[in-house]
Amino acid sequence: MEFAELIKTPRVDNVVLHRPFYPAVEGTLCLTGHHIILSSRRQDDAEELWLLHSNIDSIEKRFVGSLGTIIIKCKDLRIIQLDIPGMEECLNIASSIEALSTLDSVTLMYPFFYRPMFEVVEDGWRSFLPEQEFELLSSLTDEWRLSCINKEFSVCPSYPAVVIVPKSIDDEALRKVALFRHGSRFPVLSYYHKKNGMVMMRSSQPLTGTNGRRCKEDEKLINATLRAGKRGYIIDTRSLNVAQQARARGGGFEQEAHYPQWRRIHKSIERFNILQESLIKLVEACNDQSHNMDRWLSKLEASNWLTHIKEILTAACLAAQCIDREGASVLVHGTEGTDSTLQVTSLAQIILDPRCRTIRGFESLVVREWLQAGHPFQQRCAQSAYSNSKQKWEAPVFLLFLDCVWQILRQFPCSFEFNEHFLIMLFEHSYASQFGTFLGNNENERSKLKLQPKTMSLWSWVNRPEELNKYKNPLFEANSLVIWPSVAPQSLQLWEGVFLRWNRSSKFLDEAYEEMVTLIEYNKQLKAKVNALRRQLAELETDDRMQENP
């Protein structure tokens, strides 16, 4: 298919762009296969708008006489308005945008056509391989091995080609365990705690069913993570009621009779449509122009967004507490093990592991616990808060995770190497990007799409020194301790940087941030001068004492 077939009117003059807090811009609107471009005609105003079609969540058309207006609502929560002279031109532009923003084929998306204008110094596709992670693990313990059982994605279609499993469990046993777990997602290593050797594993639910089916290989696998005389904890991200309903449909949970060394704890985290509806309500509240504080707070509370944040952080803190304070290993799962499970395992690592609070460590975490672990980004991020289409599998699971990270960052502002802008950048690219990193639902699909040779990795762009500087936290001081976030209601706040940034001047925010960085740098220089003066005074006092007592 040629993109030109979908573009009825490629160019329109005298189009006016309206955005909150910015003056209106008049210019020429151009449609390409992947972008809406608006260029100002005035010499003193070189401003341009470049908007990916894949970033468009919905569009609305309005007409007053011959003047048409298109309101574009984006997946990054932006709302822009285009005033287009001529009804026919407006209708043509609108229908073209609708067609280009809803392409079915992944291979027609922009990452397959994007060619970088920067020098590629690092192949991001090879930056965080499982083999590299296993090498780090091997320097700490010899109780684990790298299994290539899933090399052709034949055992578990949503797992990566290689996984880390206990050395005492062979591949034949893994095949049997895979048949006993939903979607064949058998327990694999998620995290090894250096302090005490305890581990966190993740999987999907066991297929026990109403008959209480068991799998001795599954029992042996998870028992292999236990120390002699120690108990483990299974954290189920469903309520007991939901887990029992799943058992009636062939799923279920680990029976105490078959897993006597494991204590099961249910920590309910909502899924799919409930989360999507929560995001829609939250964004609606943030866009409320009534200026009525009581109404706004009521809407914010009704969205339940901060309740979901609390639920996720509570489960992650529990997992971290079991590992660090109880000295116990943990298995985390829900139903599929691709959503709430990954929220808990990745946040627990941020609490426990200082490496995950560095930029590269966090990137590695996103690759390991989200991309390689099979979070279905293509499905979950197909729509954002404005889409009029019927919901299928959309849910802001990754955005909720990033929001939880921001909550911890806000409570521990000196413990993270990255800043808020880094998290916002990841949110934006997970929904629409020129890079191939978040395309597909798992490594199997990415392999079939040949993303590595055909598209550029996000990490190749982010990890260039000139780009990385934007995302560094000037307050960062390496902290080797475990950090325990508060989940009290007064400790959790609305993430203004995402949900209110288009409702206030981002230019003002950028200037405020730059001013803060300047003040911090000045403060550092001042501290250095004070310390130098103290040293000089100490030296003078020493000289005086030596002269007094020759």
pLDDT digits (tens, 9 = 90+) for 341-389: 999 999 999 999 999 999 999 999 999 999 999 999 999 999 999 998 8
Res 532 pLDDT > 80? no
Of 79-93, 234-248, 505-519, the poorest mean pLDDT is in 505-519
Res 505 pLDDT > 60? no
Inter-CA distances, 56 with 11, 138, 326, Å: 19, 45, 47
Res 513 pLDDT > 50? no
**Angle formed by the axes of helices 305-324 and 340-352, nearest 10°:** 60
CB burial string 100-124: b at 16+ within 10 A, e below: bbebeebeebbbbeeeeeeeeeeeb
Res 527 pLDDT > 90? no
Q: In the predicted model, what is the mean pLDDT of residues 109-115?
A: 97
What 8-state DSSP symbol labels residue 66?
T
CA–CA gap between residue 178 and residue 163 (Å, rounded): 13
Q: What percent of the chain has pLDDT over 90?
A: 83
Query: Residue 353: what pLDDT?
Result: 98
Q: Are 474 and 520 in contact (CB under 8 A)?
A: yes
Predicted TM-score (pTM) above 0.85: yes
The burial class, CB within 10 Å (0-12 / 13-18 / 19+), for 506 is middle
